[in-house]
A and B are shown apart, each in its own frame.
Chain A
């Protein structure tokens, strides 16, 4: 018998093989039970079910990461909510069956959430459904959630976070869902735990299929594999395991291509806590400090001193390696209370990045002062986001000089650091020679979304927002070429640098410096070692 290949979207990359384990999601809740004639007993059954479910949830919080714990904490709080439970208990006392009363009240709540205008609240409906079904399953005497075996490939419509957490994932398993989304809580949990996961499977896996091969790298499932399929897949799994070892080994070595070309690999930093456990010798520096996240840590905008000490901490950690700090890049998909402009029709094309900094110069001057003071203590560089016209760079430079002068007059040590710009607006990418900048940093995420006119906040156009689009690659190559001829250093920060398909092309464009998320550093270095630019 020939094997059957069904495609889907990878939500957590990896390879796994195992027996199919179907989630009997709806069976548990459509079951039936005979209610007790005595309403007190009926009430006691429901209370016992709620108690059993909350205590199981509580035991799950211990293994959950902060995200999972939030969801489970919410479910526990609901189950213990008197305002929710009292009317249900009252109905049971009036003679309504426990399951009916519980289901009815929960369905009302779920309906309210499903009708919400707000994405966040709408997404909570699934957490309520999960709680509803767990209690019902207990009432019907089904204790399925504990019974999910490890080693199996879990197949179903969708998977709740609490069920994910109830599985022992230490033995290789995978998740295949016909619905689900890569941005769901479960997908985040799966990525954090390294569990391969495919969502939006375009077809159904036959119920009687036993062995399944899950390729959550390319996004496909092989059902009823032939011996040849199986051998090929296991070879890939072995390569994958070997690659992991190689990746570990590459982490602390400089990145060099197979033909001996050195590539600087720096890290993107969003919070100081990320650096605490990290050895600086894994990278060639910090290619991007997202200062908006320092801002988000505080209720009010951070003071000059708190920013100064944050920048000094990063410089100190980097121990002489370059640290590129991006000035506040608020707006777009990163609003900051009291600073960004609310209600813009199209925030990605609105007052964001340097546009906002120049529109609200007071907090910007505070940041420049903190940067100028920190620049005395290490290899600090500053870059400006969303630059569209040369006048913006000139405005930033003159503000910088003004602040440095006023600091020096007050007897405070300060200096104007090298000032570079992000290349992410097509106007800058097309005519980089028009700008005066000490260095360039290509922001591949925004450049791609603007060149392809496909918003990165819109799942429906995510396939269009592809950095491999020849127009994006050509622009990157032309920026790198110009920068080289003008003696301006160029780096690239953004997801493209961590994309194994993009990386060889970026290096082929002449790029010799990238900055990636901390989690990707080792993988990117290992990938660079395999690239042969002379081939």
Chain B
């Protein structure tokens, strides 16, 4: 059980990509999981620590790119399911654009 490995992936639909707020949300969720959890932007890696905002932001992942997760340890599959769900529901973000007033017309 303690060596359980789980993997999963989800596509970024966030308009500005994996920017500061989603990165922080992603790492906070990863930190709630006790085992190792890693992130990549290709199924072949390189893999980085999904608990590190610096590493997560370093991908500068843009919208349309896929994120891959892998986790080891107890609860690994739950952790992956939660990470994938976070990305799929767009990090709980409402409207990522047009926040600054009435510039379209």
Q: List A residues at the B interface (Cβ < 8 Å).
A: 67, 70-71, 73-74, 77-78, 81-84, 109, 112, 116, 118, 120-121, 124, 127, 188, 268, 270-271, 288, 290, 293, 296-297, 299, 329, 333-335, 337-338, 342, 443-446, 456, 493-495, 498, 516-520
CB of B95 within 8 A of CB of A296, answer: yes
Name 5 A/B residue pairs within 8 A (Cβ), A-sorted: A71-B20, A293-B98, A334-B97, A498-B102, A520-B102
Q: A112 to B24, alpha carbons, bound, how many Å? A: 19
CB of A268 within 8 A of CB of B60, answer: no
Residue on B nearest A493 in the bound complex, by CB: B105
CB of A70 within 8 A of CB of B21, answer: yes
Q: A493 to B102, alpha carbons, bound, how many Å? A: 10
Q: A188 to B51, alpha carbons, bound, how many Å? A: 30
User: Which B residues touch A495, using CB under 8 A?
Assistant: 102-103, 105
Say yes or no: is B41 at the interface (Cβ < 8 Å to chain A): no
Say yes or no: is B100 at the interface (Cβ < 8 Å to chain A): yes
CB of B60 within 8 A of CB of A109, answer: no
Residue on A nearest B52 in the bound complex, by CB: A83
Known contacts A81-B52, A118-B60, A335-B15; A73 and B105 CB within 8 A of each other: no
CB of A112 within 8 A of CB of B58, answer: yes
CB of A74 within 8 A of CB of B15, answer: no
CB of A517 within 8 A of CB of B90, answer: no
CB of A296 within 8 A of CB of B54, answer: no
CB of A83 within 8 A of CB of B54, answer: yes
Size class of B's contact patch? 35 or more
CB of B58 within 8 A of CB of A77, answer: no
User: Which B residues touch A271, using CB under 8 A?
Assistant: 94-95
CB of A299 within 8 A of CB of B90, answer: yes
Known contacts A271-B95, A290-B98; A73 and B15 CB within 8 A of each other: no
Max chain B C-beta neighbours (<10 A), residue from A71, A77, A270, A271: A77
Say yes or no: is B36 at the interface (Cβ < 8 Å to chain A): no
CB of A120 within 8 A of CB of B19, answer: yes
User: Which A residues touch B52, using CB under 8 A?
Assistant: 81-84
User: Which A residues touch B54, using CB under 8 A?
Assistant: 78, 81, 83-84, 109
Residue on A nearest B102 in the bound complex, by CB: A517
Q: A334 to B103, alpha carbons, bound, how many Å? A: 11
User: Which B residues touch A84, using CB under 8 A?
Assistant: 52, 54
User: Which B residues touch A73, using CB under 8 A?
Assistant: 20-21, 24
CB of A270 within 8 A of CB of B98, answer: yes
Taking the closest CB of chain A, its distance from the CB of B34, in whole angstroms, is 15
CB of B89 within 8 A of CB of A299, answer: yes
Q: A77 to B23, alpha carbons, bound, how many Å? A: 9
Q: Which of B15, B19, B27, B94 contacts A337 (CB 8 A)?
A: B15
If over half of A's interface residues share one DSSP class (helix, strand or loop), that class is named, otherwise mixed; here it is helix
Known contacts A124-B57, A296-B95, A299-B88; A342 and B102 CB within 8 A of each other: no
Say yes or no: is B99 at the interface (Cβ < 8 Å to chain A): yes
Taking the closest CB of chain A, its distance from the CB of B38, in whole angstroms, is 12
CB of B13 within 8 A of CB of A299, answer: yes
CB of B105 within 8 A of CB of A268, answer: yes
User: Which A residues touch B49, using CB under 8 A?
Assistant: 83
User: Which B residues touch A342, using CB under 8 A?
Assistant: 64
5 A-B pairs closest in CB distance:
A517-B102, A494-B105, A83-B52, A74-B20, A77-B53
Q: Which of A74, A288, A296, A517 contacts B53 (CB 8 A)?
A: A74
Residue on B nearest A447 in the bound complex, by CB: B105
Q: A406 to B27, alpha carbons, bound, how many Å? A: 49
Q: A82 to B96, alpha carbons, bound, how many Å? A: 29
Not counting A84-B52, A121-B19, A444-B105, a sample of 13 additional A-B residue pairs whose C-beta atoms are within 8 angstroms of each other reads: A70-B20, A73-B24, A77-B24, A77-B27, A83-B54, A116-B60, A121-B57, A268-B102, A296-B15, A296-B94, A296-B96, A297-B95, A495-B102
User: Which B residues touch A493, using CB under 8 A?
Assistant: 105
Q: A517 to B105, alpha carbons, bound, how many Å? A: 10
Q: Which of B64, B89, B100, B104 contacts A290 (CB 8 A)?
A: B104
CB of A121 within 8 A of CB of B101, answer: no
Q: Which of B23, B88, B89, B102 contacts A270 (CB 8 A)?
A: B102
Q: A498 to B102, alpha carbons, bound, how many Å? A: 10
Per-position binary interface string of chain B over residues 9-35, scored 1 when its CB falls under 8 Å from any chain A CB and 0 otherwise: 000010111011101100110000000
Say yes or no: is B62 at the interface (Cβ < 8 Å to chain A): yes
Q: A23 to B47, alpha carbons, bound, how many Å? A: 42
Q: A124 to B19, alpha carbons, bound, how many Å? A: 9
Taking the closest CB of chain B, its distance from the CB of A446, in whole angstroms, is 7
User: Which B residues touch A446, using CB under 8 A?
Assistant: 105
User: Which A residues touch B99, using CB under 8 A?
Assistant: 67
CB of A334 within 8 A of CB of B104, answer: yes
Q: A444 to B105, alpha carbons, bound, how many Å? A: 7
Q: A268 to B102, alpha carbons, bound, how many Å? A: 7
CB of A337 within 8 A of CB of B64, answer: yes
Q: A339 to B96, alpha carbons, bound, how many Å? A: 16
